[in-house]
Amino acid sequence: MAYIHFGKDDYLKRTRHGLDYIRNVHRNPQTGGYAWIIYDGKITDDTNHCYGLAFVMLAYACALRIGIEQAREWLRETYDLMEEHFWLKEKCLYASEATGNWKLKDYRGQNDNMHACEAMLAAYDVTKNEIYLERAKILAKIMTDSSKELYYQIWEHYHVDWTPDFEYNKNVRTNIFRPWGIQTGHQTEWAKLLLILDRYDSQSWHLERAIQLFDRAMKYGWDEKNGGLIYGYDLEGNFYDGDKYFWVQAESLATAALLGDRLKDEKYWQWYDKIWNYSWKYFVDHKYGAWYRILTPTNEKYSDEKSPAGKTDYHTMGVCYEILNVIDKE
């Protein structure tokens, strides 16, 4: 994306380097899978994650966008890999995790399907292949329809039969990647994806559901005392994890801009300003750049760490591009 906006050859070289590493180090040519963790050039965890494959697809879609034509084949290869090993035809959703030899584990989660939807939308945008759009539509419909049970909020964890698992990690505060509770940022991230989906397949329910998700996330997730959006709240709308995460603010910022542009409703631009002013004050490192990763409920840094290597600046940069899409229309 930086190459598209700035045209520097160095960005293209870095893209090719990243693709080479994904293809030649993470990818297992025998199984087709992608190792989850590489340390010092060696595989330390060969687990296959649907979440990970979604980001592999996203990388290939971005590569194709800047003219790396071979990525078109790799996109379809990854789609087929997910279809073969993770797609649960009877549920029309993806499983979350498998061993290196593709033995599925029982955990089911919305996060994998959300990022798969994101990847499918990106793949469709650059290829116009309907197979990707159709899959995105299915994922969005099923995952956001399931939110009716929680007044149009998205639950994270499910049993193997896809019934909600309300006990998963309930008393575990250390697993920040599969936390208990309703995740503020995932409500707004799904709202964003519904609005992006609507560009390609306009349906009235996309906007309706996006508004519901965003409005409830602001109602229950905004910290009126200290500012900022919390990580998660419980089934009654009470704060569960009051820490502030950089990506939650970022995703919500983009969604506020998209809703403000779509609805011409000043309320969403007020939310945009509110989230941005908070982020600028507390999250952005004005000396070295980038955003701090996590703040306490009272907005103190836990450390100087920025977004970790696995995420780089994916959320914050992605939000910039979505907001630029709005600004460029003006």
Query: Is the residue at 291 inside a domain?
Result: yes
Query: Is the residue at 248 inside a domain?
Result: yes
> How far, in Å, are 51, 53, 66, 100, 129 from residue 121 at the CA level?
15, 14, 17, 27, 10
Query: Is the residue at 257 inside a domain?
Result: yes
Query: Is the residue at 136 inside a domain?
Result: no
Cα 92 to the chain's mean position, in Å? 19
DSSP 175: -
How many domains does the chain contain in total? 1
DSSP 25: I
What are the φ and ψ backbone dihedral angles of 94, each rounded to 5 degrees? -95, 140
- Cβ pair 78, 86 in contact under 8 A: no
Residues designated as active site: 186, 315
- Cβ pair 293, 307 in contact under 8 A: yes
Give the pair of three-digit tokens for residue 108. Answer: 């089911």
CA-derived radius of gyration, the chain: 19
Query: Is the residue at 107 inside a domain?
Result: no
Q: How far apart are CA 96 and CA 46, in angstroms?
A: 14
Structural domain boundaries enclosing 280: 181-330
Query: Is the residue at 134 inside a domain?
Result: no
| CATH number of the domain bearing residue 246 | 1.50.10.10
In tens digits, the chain (330 residues) has pLDDT values of: 889 989 999 999 999 999 999 999 999 999 999 999 999 989 999 999 999 999 999 999 999 999 999 999 999 999 999 999 999 999 999 999 999 999 999 999 999 999 999 999 999 999 999 999 999 999 999 999 877 778 889 999 999 999 999 999 998 988 888 999 999 999 999 999 999 999 999 999 999 999 999 999 999 999 999 999 999 999 999 999 999 999 999 999 999 999 999 999 999 999 999 999 999 999 999 999 999 999 999 999 999 988 777 777 889 999 999 999 898 876
Query: Is the residue at 32 inside a domain?
Result: no
Q: How far apart are CA 233 and CA 126, in angstroms?
A: 37
Q: What is the pTM of this model?
A: 0.96
Q: Which of 84, 216, 195, 209 is nearest to 143 (CA)?
A: 209
Query: Is the residue at 63 inside a domain?
Result: no
Give the pair of three-digit tokens for residue 90. Answer: 């009877």
Name the helix (H) or strand (E) containing 44: strand 42-45
